[in-house]
Structure 1
Amino acid sequence: MATAVKTDVQLKHEDIKPLIGSRVLNSKEELLSGALANDIRELLEARGVLVFPKIDFSDEEQIAFTKTLGTFAPEMSSEGREEIHKVTLDVKENPSSALYLKGSLYWHIDGTMNEVPILASLLSCKVPATWGGNTGFCNTYAAFDALDEDKKAEYRQYRARHGAWASLFYYDPEPSLALLQGMQKIGDNELPLVWKHESGRESLVIGCTTHTVVGKDPMESAVIIHGLREWATQEQFSYSHEWSVGDMVMWDNTGTMHRAEAYDPTCGRMMHRTKLQGEEPFE
């Protein structure tokens, strides 16, 4: 008599650190089937960062996998609509945003110029850096949860202004007026310092685009903004991923900050990115 084959696919994963990160250990075929999509979404919200070690997705497979998880968000560049975005400092490969990507070396949340930020990014390693080049993540849910209750109450009252132009000063302290004004055309946006999500959970909204706490003078603003960045990026809330070719990492853009860590800008480091459309406004 033939033995019945169990068709239920179970999500296989292990924690990387207590407060951030899990490795997903399922096969490529299991991931592409879509059967694990709901479980992956739940794990992503709970853990902030998911690592798929050496899954070795092709571009087409990465796009297909992304689409199992939600609404696919193609990117727009000067070259047109992109399904796969090449993340590299090589201007030959990425002429439209290689300069802008210099800001990615500093802690940030994607989409602070938008009403609804992207839900998540998926990044695959095609060419690792010759040295450095890790991607760092920190859990801004866990960082907020760990604050004293009086600090939580204080920060819930604040709003902060964000501008892509503010990140310029991290890597070019004396920019030309033309470059500054060009970056300022991207916009400036006021957001809550603490984002209360539809789930009821709360996370910090900070990063290198944050330049002012509304109602505070520049000195007070700097102390709050940089103090919270220092708090949120402590070891217990953070994970640094060392890339191998074929790795893919997915992170919850609504509850983490991320950054590329320093590397040789001439080494040809190449990542391929897909994104999931946002589902919840900051407000």
Structure 2
Amino acid sequence: MATTLSDSFVVTQVKPLIGAVVKSDKETLLSGRHAAQIRALLEDRGVIVFSRTDFTDEEQVAFTKTLGKFAREMTGDVFKISMDKAVNPMADYTRGAFYWHIDGTMDRVPLFASMLTAKILSSSGGNTEFCNTYAAWDALPDDEKAQLEKLRVVHSLVNAQLYVQPEPGLAEYDAWAKLGTNELPLVWTHKSGRKSLVLGSTAEYIVGMDPVESRRLLIRLREWATQDQFSLSHTWSVGDTVIWDNTGTMHRATAYPLDSKREMHRTKLEGEEEFA
């Protein structure tokens, strides 16, 4: 179903519970005229695809700034996501992107949104998958919701990096552990009143629960949240730009050859509310 807001801004839903494609032109997007509608779409649909915008880095930064407070990367305005260490010296850390996660679970206030533009594609694989953690929460039975709302989860970089390197050396482990841990609610009650699940690869254990049962519940909820009705997989074309609500989705990259030179350019919007 397509909704026409103007001749230069047409929205089409991807799936009933997640995703939208916006057909627009670069001038319209950069003008900011539809910034309010884009932000509303983000909360409602979780993920928005702008097909083949072909943004330059400067244009992507400008577009991002129309939607909220711009968050700079450690290396500048744009982060080049690549497994080529000549392009991305943090490539080893970036391999964590192959597992379901929310950006910023080690922070008090996570990012509001992230945006990627595809520059170079891999010969195979390399989709980006998203799931709607609002919709996943809404669909749970009421009796289970009552139990889950009481739970808190400890998150750590260690847990996320063990997905990538399950047998680290002690020095490597100690380097990960320096970031410490962060205890968060399993269920985030947002300022809007809506609720979402806080899961992902950083989720290490549920406070006060038997370790085996804790791990089992986190796996079961991840499977629940990432099932087909709540998720989508975006197949990239060069020049596509995708933005997602980091507070109401999880995401991951699907496997691709690490020597493929695949390159995505990321910009971010600062967080606007704490985990609660």
TM-score, length of structure 2 as denominator length: 0.96
Runs of at least 5 residues in structure 2 that lack an aligned partner in the other structure: 1-5
- Aligned-residue identity in percent: 56
Match for residue 5 of structure 1?
none
Match for residue 45 of structure 2?
47
Deviations 1:153-182 (A, max 9, x none): 111000000001101221211111111111
Q: Between Structure 1 and Structure 2, whose CA radius of gyration is higher?
A: 1
* Deviation at residue 34 of structure 1 after TM alignment: 0.7
In the alignment, is the contact (CA less than 8 A) between 1:140 and 1:203 conserved in 2? yes
Where do residues 1-283 of structure 1 align in structure 2 (5 Å cutoff)? 11-76=9-74, 81-95=75-89, 97-283=90-276
In the alignment, is the contact (CA less than 8 A) between 1:120 and 1:252 conserved in 2? yes
Instruction: Write the distance in 2 (CA, Å) between the matches of 1:159 and 1:129.
Output: 38
Which amino acid letter does the alignment assign opposite residue 49 of structure 1? V
Instruction: Write the distance in 2 (CA, Å) between the matches of 1:37 and 1:50.
Output: 13
Pairwise CA RMSD: 1.0
Instruction: Write the distance in 2 (CA, Å) between the matches of 1:121 and 1:65.
Output: 12
Deviations 1:170-221 (A, max 9, x none): 1211111111111111221000000000000000000000011001021111
* Deviation at residue 63 of structure 1 after TM alignment: 0.3
Count of aligned pairs between the two proteins: 271
- SS of 1:275's partner is strand
Deviations 1:2-58 (A, max 9, x none): xxxxxx777420000110000011111110001110010001100000000111111
Runs of at least 5 residues in structure 1 that lack an aligned partner in the other structure: 1-7
Deviations 1:84-120 (A, max 9, x none): 100011111111x111111110000000010000000
TM-score, length of structure 1 as denominator length: 0.94
Which amino acid letter does the alignment assign opposite residue 16 of structure 1? V
In the alignment, is the contact (CA less than 8 A) between 2:8 and 2:25 conserved in 1? no
Deviations 1:122-148 (A, max 9, x none): 000000111000000000000000000
Which segments of structure 1 move beyond 4 Å, counting only runs of 4 or more? none
